[in-house]
Structure 1
Amino acid sequence: MIEHTLGTDEFSEYDLLQSLVLKLSGTDRQEWQLTGSSRQENGLQLQEARTAWGGRNWTAWFTADIPFQEGPHKFHGLPGLITRLEDSEGHYTFSLIKSENRKSTYQHIHITAMKASSVATDRRQYEKTKQTYYDSPVSFLRSTKRNSGADFFLNDGTVVSQNNTREINERLRKEVHTFNNPIERNRAISYKE
């Protein structure tokens, strides 16, 4: 989850590592280049912009008809709402499906709890924590539990016991590799074997 302080380049990023929530805070900004290309779509006048950010090249279509300068993830700063954003390799595509004007903000109980239980960390400690998890996911997760010798459940409902530790470690390490393609590729962690 990403939280942006409006009107600034300040962001807080919450990363759920099974039951542990890590909070990374920092600044991020894109340097947009307007290409001059435009098109009509769904009754909106769109303009094209490009940026190189996060280790990827991005193309955005935005509309000044809706002067909301936020976009998906940490993308912001264009003079209108981003309706489509994609990287040049086709790994990521964001498309606006619906936009509505809400009278009030909605506070989701799980998001509020996640933020309250988060552990603030810097980039170095974040990478160290992720590496420790990768080295032995089950040992890492047991260390976050009160009764570290007891069986416990993963977020997907899988029971972790002394009998399946090796299998679960292999599965979780494979998941780390499978999903190690972050939006900000320049911040991908190079896990050490």
Structure 2
Amino acid sequence: MFGFAPEIPLQDGPHELYGLPGLIVKAEDSKGDHSFTLIATKKVIADSDDLLSKKNKEIIVDEEKFRKLWADYKKDPVKDMRQSSGSSSISAPVSVSTSITFDGKTYSQDEMLKLIEKERKDALKNTNNFLELDLYK
């Protein structure tokens, strides 16, 4: 199902939906699994320097690279956290011990990483409603 506004002469819409003779303001698949509804529009005036800054620069990833990154993430969803917590910018050898207390229980850094990893892996098992199903196999 599509709803569009022909009075807004933009042939655009959410995700990969475009091409109608007006802005797509509502789209839903036949099962109702995915629904997009335009809730607001806003005119944005961006500085050209902001658009070209490194913070806003897109990183182009082809399908093969995406599949590898996704497989790596599913295997170890806290890899980046583990690597960043083990790195140090100090040239001399330094030993740092980190712990956090949550709900009256103290967790070591390794215990926290294991808990976060379990939560993320559980979330991956329960998340199965991707827009691009073939990419997430």
TM-score range, shorter chain: 0.5 to 0.7
* Partner deviation per Cα, 1:149-181 (whole Å, 9 max, x = no partner): 976xxxxxxx98112332221111122233342
Letter of the structure 1 residue corresponding to residue 75 of structure 2: D
Is the aligned partner of 1:67 residue 2:12?
A: no
Q: 1:95 aligns with which of 29, 37, 42?
A: 37
Give the counterpart of 1:84 among 22, 26, 29. 26
Q: 2:39 is paired with a residue of what secondary structure?
A: coil
Matched, 1:136 2:76: yes
TM-score with structure 2 setting the length: 0.67
**Identity, % of aligned pairs?**
26
Q: Does 1:162 align with 2:110?
A: yes
Kindly tell me: are residues 103 and 92 of structure 1, through their superposed partners in 2, closer, same or farther at Cα, counting changes over 3 Å? closer
Gaps of 5+ in 1: 1-58, 152-158
Structure 1 residues 66 and 120 mapped into 2: Cα distance closer, same or farther (>3 Å)? closer
State the TM-score, normalized to the length of structure 1. 0.50
1:114, CA displacement in angstroms? 4.6
Partner of 2:45: 104
Aligned to 1:15: none
Partner-residue secondary structure (3-state), 1:121: coil
Are 1:171 and 2:119 matched, yes or no? yes
1:184 aligns with 2:135: no
Alpha-carbon distance, 1:146 to partner:
6.9
Which structure 2 segments of 5+ residues have no match? Answer: 89-94, 99-106
Cα–Cα, structure 1 residues 114 and 186, in superposed 2: closer, same or farther, change >3 Å?
farther
Tell me the distance in 1 between the aligned counterparts of 2:116 and 2:127: 16
Q: CA deviation at 1:126?
A: 1.0
SS at 2:60 equivalent = strand
Q: Which has the higher strand share?
A: 1
Give the conservation status (yes or no) of the 8 Å contact 2:8–2:22: yes
Give the superposed CA RMSD. 3.3
Q: How many residues align?
A: 120
Q: Contact 2:3/2:25 (CA < 8 Å) preserved in 1?
A: yes
Please identify the structure whose Cα radius of gyration is greater: 2
Residues 82, 113 of structure 2: 8 Å contact kept: no
Q: Is the Cα contact below 8 Å between 1:70 and 1:81 reproduced in 2?
A: yes
Identify, as 1 or 2, the structure richer in helix.
Answer: 2
Q: 1:134 to 1:94 in 2, by over 3 A?
A: same
CA distance in 1, matches of 2:83, 2:4: 46
Which structure ranks higher in relative contact order (CA pairs < 8 Å, sequence separation ≥ 6)?
A: 1
